[in-house]
Structure 1
C-alpha cells in the first residue's frame, strides 16, 4: 500500500501581503512546478493550498500536483483571521483523509505549513486552534510555522507543534521564497524515507525547535 502525506500549505493573503502579491504567486507557481516535475514527491505528498485573510479560500483542494495544470492566482487583501482558517483546515483534513483512504492509501499524520507575515486580527483564534490540534482527534496535524514581516514570535510559538522558523530580518519577498524552498526540501526528504524529515536549514530564518510536541 502506498504511503501518503496530506500536506496543507496555508498562506497569509491579507492586505499586508498585497505589495508582495506578484512574488507570492510566482513563489507558489514555483512550488507547483517543482512538485509536478517530481512524480515521486507529488505522489507521496498530496497538497492542499489554502489562502487566508478575512475569508479563507481553498486555492487547490487536496491533489497530486502532477495532475494540477497550473497554480491559480491568489489575490491579497483583508484581515488576518487565524480562527476561521484553523476551522477550515480541520474540515479539509476530515474530508481529505477519508478520501485518501478510499483510494487505498496508507495515510500519515497530516502536516500543516503555516506561513504568515502578521499577527491574528481575531481575538478568539486559540479556541479553533486547540480544536485543530486536539490529541483526542485521531487526525490532528503537525504544524510547521514560518513567520516573517510583522509576524509575532510569541504568537507563532503557540501555533507551531513540530517546528518554528522566524525570519531574521530578511525582506518579506526573500523570506517568502526561502520558506517555500524549505517546505519543498522537507517534502523531498520526507518522500525519500516515507516519514517526516524537516529541512531546518532555511536561508534567512532562525530554526526554533519545538520542545513540547503533541504525541502521535
Structure 2
C-alpha cells in the first residue's frame, strides 16, 4: 500500500524551554492519539520527526503510525533552520519511495515546520534548493509559535505560513486537532481512490489558526533572553529564561533597552550542548535589564546568577570562595550589590 509520509520539523531552541516545549510534546501525543482512532490513517500514515536548535537531526525515522511514539524532545542553543531543511531533504530522498517501473511510490509528503524564532544559520542555499527540487513534490506548511518567528524567511520557503499567535497550550491543542483532522481527511480520500485533496488552510482558519499575509514583516526577536549556567556543586548545566515585560521607568535599565522578567530556571543535561551551535553568545544583556535571580535548580543554592571572571554563569550560596564549574578557577564572591555587568545571552 502507498504510504502518506508526514514529517514534523520542530524548533527545539532554548527559547522553547519550560512550558512551550512541554506543550509541544503534548500536542504531538494528541495528534498521534487522534490519528490512531482513524482506520484509514492507520493504513497509510507514516510519521517522522526532525528537531533543530543550533544543530539539526532526525529524532524518529519514517515509521508507520501504529509503531510511532512521540519522542522526548531535546533542547539546544540556536535556530539552525537551514540545517533543518537540509536534513529534511535528505530524509525525503532516503525514506520516501519514488514511483518506478516496478512499484508505485508514496503519496506526496506533508511537512509541518514549527518555529518560534529567527534562523541563526544561513538559509539561502537550503531554501533555493527546496524551491527548485522539492516544493513541487511535497507540501510544506510553516507554523509560527508566538510573535518572534521570522515570517519573511518562512515566506521564501512556502506560501503556506500560519500563525499560532500565543504559541500557548490552547493554540497547540487547536493545532493538534487541525492536523489530525486534515491528515485523516487526506488518508480517507486516498483510501477511496481519489486524488489527494491537500491540507486545507481554510480549515486552519476555522480552528483559529491565522494565515500569515505577505505584508507581515520580520519581528524583532527581543521577546525572550536565555542564559546557560552550571551548578558549582555537581557541574550540571541549567538554563535561565527571561521574558520581555512592559514596565514604566525600565527599573534603571539603560535607556532604549528592554526589561526582562524571570520565567524560570530549568535543569539541563549535557545533551543540550550536543544540540547547540558552536561559538559565542549572540549578544549581551546588562544585569540591570533583568528582574529576578532564582535559586539553582540542581542544588538549591541561593542564586543561580553568579558570574565567574571567565564570563560564565554559576550558582552561588553566598559570600566566600568557590570553584568555577566551567574553568575550574577559584573565585571570591562578595556580598553583592555592586555595579551592573554584561552577560552573554543565548541565541534563542
- TM-score, scaled to structure 2: 0.53
Structure with larger Rg = 2
Whichever structure has more strand as a proportion of its residues is 2
Contact 2:130/2:157 (8 A) holds in 1:
no
In structure 2, C-alpha distance between the alignment counterparts of 1:80 and 1:100, rounded to whole Å: 34
**Structure 1 residue 141: deviation in Å?**
2.3
- Identify if the C-alpha distance between structure 1 residues 172 and 111 changes in structure 2 by more than 3 Å, giving closer, same or farther: same
- Identify if the C-alpha distance between structure 1 residues 146 and 208 changes in structure 2 by more than 3 Å, giving closer, same or farther: same
1:187 aligns with 183
Higher relative contact order (CA 8 A, sep 6+): 1
- Identify if the C-alpha distance between structure 1 residues 58 and 36 changes in structure 2 by more than 3 Å, giving closer, same or farther: farther
Gaps of 5+ in 1: 211-216
CA distances 1:92-150 after superposition (whole Å, capped 9, x unpaired):
0011124898x95541222211111111111x212112213324x69842211111211
The CA RMSD measured in Å over matched residues stands at 2.7
2:32 aligns with 32
Contact 2:127/2:156 (8 A) holds in 1:
no
Q: Tell me the number of residue pairs that the alignment of Structure 1 and Structure 2 aligns.
A: 204
In structure 1, C-alpha distance between the alignment counterparts of 2:163 and 2:57, rounded to whole Å: 25
In structure 2, C-alpha distance between the alignment counterparts of 1:177 and 1:126, rounded to whole Å: 32
- Secondary structure at the residue paired with 1:91? helix
1:165 aligns with 162
2:248 aligns with none
Equivalent residues in 2 for 1:60-99 (5 A)?
60-68=60-68, 70-98=69-97
- Identify if the C-alpha distance between structure 1 residues 138 and 172 changes in structure 2 by more than 3 Å, giving closer, same or farther: closer
Contact 1:156/1:164 (8 A) holds in 2:
yes
Whichever structure has more helix as a proportion of its residues is 1
Contact 2:162/2:212 (8 A) holds in 1:
yes
4+ runs deviating over 6 angstroms:
none
